[in-house]
């Protein structure tokens, strides 16, 4: 339905949903990363690949997009995805560049893997290899900015990886928010008609 004088909201913050979907798909395409998150044993990388059902169960449980950690006693390895530090894009003023943060949190009992490997750093290596210097369609170029150690409690710690997302030319089209458009149309229909 087209309504005269109505413009779909334009904001780069509307692309966060889309970006989260792209990042989640990328993370779930890596079988080593999924084994590191799912299996809590030292030989996690030697375990079988996850089934489709097990892979899907990672999102919302091990891979989170809300920066709150609920510890349920059974899941001990987490990635929390955050978007931060939005800044204007010099060549594409409709959108803002931002930093994508991956907080890798593991229980200290799960840090050690075989052959002196440490789980948070191995997870960081997988994420870094998937995102540093890559062009993600819809997000643009991603560039590694740095990593910091995170110590949450006396049981949980890890790393925060930061990547700059530089939105490219394909993002010049406005990102409509279908929920906003539907709500507007419903509100418009409820306005009494002038006779």
* In a domain? residue 3: no
- Count of the separate structural domains present in the chain: 1
User: For residue 190, is it within any domain?
Assistant: no
- Write down the pLDDT at residue 170: 47
Which helix (H) or strand (E) covers residue 53, if one does?
Answer: helix 52-58
Closest CA to 136 of 106, 179, 166, 98: 166
Q: Is residue 195 part of a domain?
A: no
In a domain, 1, yes or no: no
Q: Is residue 148 part of a domain?
A: yes
CATH number (domain holding residue 123): 3.30.2000
Between CA 55 and CA 28 the distance in angstroms is 7
What's the chain's average pLDDT?
84
pLDDT of the residue at 60: 87
Higher pLDDT: 16 or 127? It is 127
Range of the domain at 52: 12-183
- Residue pLDDT, tens place only, 39-95: 999 999 999 999 999 999 999 899 999 888 877 677 789 999 999 998 887 777 777
Q: Residue 7: inside a domain, yes or no?
A: no
Residue 22 has pLDDT above 70, yes or no: yes
Compute the chain's Rg from CA coordinates.
20
Residue 68 is predicted with a pLDDT of: 83
pLDDT at 166: 80
pLDDT on residue 171: 47
Q: Which of 192, 110, 108, 117 is nearest to 155 (CA)?
A: 108
**Predicted pLDDT at 23:** 93
Q: Is residue 152 part of a domain?
A: yes
Mean pLDDT of 174-194: 60
Strands 140-151 and 156-166: antiparallel
178: pLDDT strictly greater than 50: yes
188 within domain boundaries: no
């Amino acid at each position: 339905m087209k309504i005269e004088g109505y413009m779909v909201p334009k904001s780069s913050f509307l692309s966060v949903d889309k970006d989260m979907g792209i990042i989640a798909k990328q993370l779930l395409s890596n079988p080593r990363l999924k084994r590191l998150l799912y299996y809590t044993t030292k030989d996690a990388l030697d375990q079988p690949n996850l089934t489709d059902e097990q892979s899907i169960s990672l999102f919302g449980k091990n891979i989170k997009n809300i920066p709150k950690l609920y510890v349920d006693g059974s899941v001990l390895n987490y990635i929390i995805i955050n978007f931060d530090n939005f800044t204007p894009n010099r060549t594409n003023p409709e959108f803002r560049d931002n930093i994508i943060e991956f907080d890798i949190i593991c229980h200290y009992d799960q840090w050690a893997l075989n052959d002196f490997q440490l789980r948070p750093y191995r997870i960081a290596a997988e994420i870094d290899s998937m995102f540093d210097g890559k062009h993600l369609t819809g997000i643009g170029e991603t560039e590694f900015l740095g990593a910091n150690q995170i110590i949450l409690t006396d049981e949980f710690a890890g790393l925060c990886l930061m990547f700059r997302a530089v939105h490219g030319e394909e993002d010049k089209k406005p990102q409509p928010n279908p929920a906003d458009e539907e709500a507007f149309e419903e509100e418009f229909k409820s306005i009494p008609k002038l006779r």
